[in-house]
Amino acid sequence: MSLWPVDDNATQLLMVKFYEFWLKDATNQNIFGAFKKAQLDVKQKFPHPYYWGAFVLLKELVFSFLGSIPPERLEGWHPDRSVGETGRESLN
């Protein structure tokens, strides 16, 4: 969730990095570490907190979301794939 409107490029970078780190170990325990690593990566390119500090993970929503997706449906998914490439459409 974003607490204020953020630059699209910074948001895209944060989301791509987050999924890149998280999908290396797509477990409930890793999701928060992946989010923190993604923020630190974005901070290197966009040092001002405006670009990376607006985002927060809401624990209840994260675990509700994770519980609704069987792990086998996450397998092989990557944020850089377009719809139709064993990607985002499989999460719907």
pLDDT tens sequence across 28-82: 678 888 989 999 999 999 999 888 888 887 765 555 555 555 555 555 555 555 4
* Residue 57 tokens, joined: 């993970």
In a domain, 2, yes or no: no
Structural domain tally of the chain? 1
In a domain, 54, yes or no: yes
In a domain, 1, yes or no: no
- Boundaries of domain holding 50: 8-91
In a domain, 3, yes or no: no
Residues 6+ apart with CB under 8 A from 39: 14, 52, 53, 55
What's the pTM value of the predicted model, to 2 decimals? 0.61
pLDDT band at 24 (very low <50, low <70, confident <90, very high): confident
